[in-house]
Structure 1
């Protein structure tokens, strides 16, 4: 499945000494003292393709890590960094200011952040032809990494292993999950694979695009004229996909977003209650792209690499890790990751979700109420297309209200679950559910991993 991976890394305990920012003369930062163990390394998944991962062992005061699940987090984009954004902005032990996160998932699971596809975050390629161009390559690369990881970390082979994801990461999680299930069945990888969780996931892009107009109209963010304009271009996207013209569908997708931004006064695709920040000047790495790809990259990858986060990752974090090659900067290849997947963007993977369900794999779908790019209406639309034999019974169920804590009187979510399929409607959250509703996201994770 690729070139010989690196030998097992020596675990690195959390560094507790001050780290110099390197951003201004004399700037010093104290790394918070924590009782925790972490380790990280690279795996060469193909020739000239090197993937970076970072593991945190669970820090629950009442349980050993072996009594808790292992959660792998996959970011979206493609080109968004799990070790950066997912870790420091959403579920890791520290926030972007290196302050302890109250709602970190580390209290209920060990966390494995992986920068994928290759070229994302601290992952990198040596030659441009090594970027992944489709979901099959993304999945194949991840299986090389996971085989290496579980061979080196045998203490996790029997621990329940879940793949949680967000956005395009959900599309990748579905593909990876199916291939991992097959590999476990065939004895190629030894792990206790227990399920996938697809968060605000780009499973069926056309269902998202088709629902944008009605959703925004219902929220008073489009008038009749705007709805007609959005609906017209959405139908063009549908026609392109039905004809198998996926690159054309990608271009029309971007056209639909421009029409929405103009009609809805710059509505934020990640939370409709906020406004999009103006695009920064195009990065030099985007100059070689067609304009529509450059704009899509700015809109859907650039926001995951804000200046403060880039300074953190390329400053104190880089110094902490010590193994990042000198010529590699965090996020420098993300735009190339994005453009390399151009023909994969608009391809649906509903059939893969069907295969997971038929195989008995636990599948969780969760979505933020205020998300636009992958709005809940679109998620519900592709869910109705599933051919899983148990879907009629799932559809007949009534949802149940959830509260983020026993003392809370406010409804934080609704959930519907039947056999190995669950759907969570997360209220008050946009695209990045853990960042917007940390308590509810943590509760959901515990429910999915059967801790509540």
Structure 2
């Protein structure tokens, strides 16, 4: 994903302005002109615009001048904005039934969030998707640098698009973005207080299946496994007692706890943690991570490996197979030309870049949530209730520590007369935090239950009851 030195220098001189935007009228795989407004481009950030952040901007299909503006950050760190666009909330996705490995085709997404919002999908941090730096130093990045560069990007983008400066602004993302979204939201609010231009009409933030506190999020996997019947009641009670409720970074001298965690590992080692109801696509049982520290590479396992044969079929469907199409589609020169990708700026597009020179410098953002709510910002936090990567029970636990007043206790919410999940509404005047689970969804909820998540965000944007 890094550039050769001479090419870096040439590109740096060529694109020193750091700004380029192009309207995309059509895309390979989707017949006819696009029925929505799509703009792609680069905006330079950092010293001398060394870092070139690539973005996709899609106007709301309802009312661009009135609907919210959303900055969307896909997790990882290092997962492409195109992944969030095509597999989660964008206006087009792959038509799997009519695609072949050599020729993927696209179709419109009936549940795109762009039907109710203007969305900027940002390839961040640098080295993600089509974003690149013109020097080796630009690729050395951490949470704090990523936040500063994302905020600079947003300021420059709004200066180029002043017609959206008055739209309600929400910072949003999922998974690892649970760390950076609150940080960027605070940066925006601090900038507004300091009269930094352009002033942004910040309303709040949105998080799906978010990493928030590394220890508590990972620790919640054991109680989650118990709630879902993956481990027995006896084993859970034993582990809870022997480990004193601490299941990660355990003391090796505590033999009883070590034995309990080994037993838990055996029970869950063949479970696909992204969604416990789906098959795990591996050719051998991987080492369990219940007792290990956070490893973001475990969330995005793109490799479609061999599957054990079944009595009915030689191969079982695997969600990771869907990701193959994104590699084939983006490697097509016609696609890169249509998106106006600068030739030679990256070696190869990957959905989630696991080779980033990225340091996780922030492991707990609970206090940031407290501060943002105190400042009167709205928050929507949702989780797939079958996600074992970042279980909803851990998210519930840290929300409880905010000590907010409950305005609507745990209740079902519905789509088409069916239970779509459960929600709790918290109030702390003048803000309102909503926590919702999405029934049957995994990591992340948007990919598994698009219709339900679209209903959720539509109601929340319009201040309807959930």
Give the TM-score taking structure 1 as reference length: 0.79
Q: Does 1:220 align with 2:190?
A: no
Pair 1:327–1:138, CA change in 2 (3 A): closer
Q: C-alpha offsets along residues 151-174 of structure 1, whole Å, 9 cap, x if unaligned?
A: 000011001111221100121111
Q: How many residues align?
A: 396
Pair 1:30–1:100, CA change in 2 (3 A): closer
Report if the CA contact (8 A) 2:275-2:441 is conserved: yes
Pair 1:261–1:163, CA change in 2 (3 A): farther
Q: Does 1:270 align with 2:287?
A: no
Q: Which residue of 1 aligns with 2:155?
A: 147
Pair 1:129–1:192, CA change in 2 (3 A): same
CA apart distance, 1:226: 7.9
The CA distance in 1 between the partners of 2:153 and 2:343, in whole Å, is 19
3-state DSSP of counterpart to 1:66? coil
The CA distance in 2 between the partners of 1:362 and 1:308, in whole Å, is 36
Q: C-alpha offsets along residues 83-137 of structure 1, whole Å, 9 cap, x if unaligned?
A: x211011111111231111111111111110011111111123444323543221
3-state DSSP of counterpart to 1:306? helix
Q: Which residue of 1 aligns with 2:413?
A: 402
3-state DSSP of counterpart to 1:312? helix
Structure that is richer in strand per residue? 2
Q: Which residue of 2 aligns with 1:425?
A: 437
Which of 369, 373, 377 lines up with 1:353 in the alignment? 369
TM alignment of 1:301-380, pairs within 5 A: 301-303=300-302, 306-315=323-332, 316-328=334-346, 329-331=348-350, 334-337=353-356, 340-341=358-359, 343-344=360-361, 347-380=363-396
CA apart distance, 1:260: 6.0
Q: Which residue of 1 aligns with 2:12?
A: none
Pair 1:332–1:398, CA change in 2 (3 A): closer
The CA distance in 1 between the partners of 2:463 and 2:364, in whole Å, is 32
Pair 1:258–1:132, CA change in 2 (3 A): farther
CA apart distance, 1:308: 1.9
Q: Which residue of 1 aligns with 2:65?
A: 66
Unaligned runs of 5+ in 2: 1-14, 96-105, 252-259, 285-291, 303-319
Pair 1:416–1:344, CA change in 2 (3 A): same
The CA distance in 2 between the partners of 1:267 and 1:52, in whole Å, is 36
Report if the CA contact (8 A) 2:83-2:351 is conserved: no
3-state DSSP of counterpart to 2:442? coil
Q: Which residue of 2 aligns with 1:416?
A: 424
Report if the CA contact (8 A) 2:142-2:361 is conserved: yes
The CA distance in 2 between the partners of 1:446 and 1:336, in whole Å, is 36
3-state DSSP of counterpart to 1:415? strand
Q: Does 1:49 align with 2:62?
A: no
The CA distance in 2 between the partners of 1:444 and 1:451, in whole Å, is 11
The CA distance in 1 between the partners of 2:65 and 2:85, in whole Å, is 21
The CA distance in 2 between the partners of 1:142 and 1:46, in whole Å, is 10
Q: Which residue of 1 aligns with 2:213?
A: 204
Structure with larger Rg: 2
Report if the CA contact (8 A) 1:32-1:99 is conserved: no
Report if the CA contact (8 A) 1:117-1:132 is conserved: no
The CA distance in 1 between the partners of 2:78 and 2:340, in whole Å, is 22
Q: Does 1:15 align with 2:26?
A: yes
CA apart distance, 1:268: 1.3
Q: Which residue of 2 aligns with 1:107?
A: 115
The CA distance in 2 between the partners of 1:259 and 1:52, in whole Å, is 46
Structure that is richer in helix per residue? 1
3-state DSSP of counterpart to 1:148? helix
Q: Which residue of 2 aligns with 1:448?
A: 460
Pair 1:267–1:239, CA change in 2 (3 A): closer
The CA distance in 2 between the partners of 1:260 and 1:324, in whole Å, is 49
CA apart distance, 1:415: 2.5
Alpha carbon RMSD of aligned pairs, Å? 3.1
CA apart distance, 1:333: 8.2
3-state DSSP of counterpart to 1:235? coil
Pair 1:222–1:451, CA change in 2 (3 A): same
Q: Which residue of 2 aligns with 1:187?
A: 195
Report if the CA contact (8 A) 1:58-1:68 is conserved: yes
Give the TM-score taking structure 2 as reference length: 0.77
Q: C-alpha offsets along residues 66-88 of structure 1, whole Å, 9 cap, x if unaligned?
A: 02111221111111112x21101
**220-229 or 167-176: which moved more?**
220-229
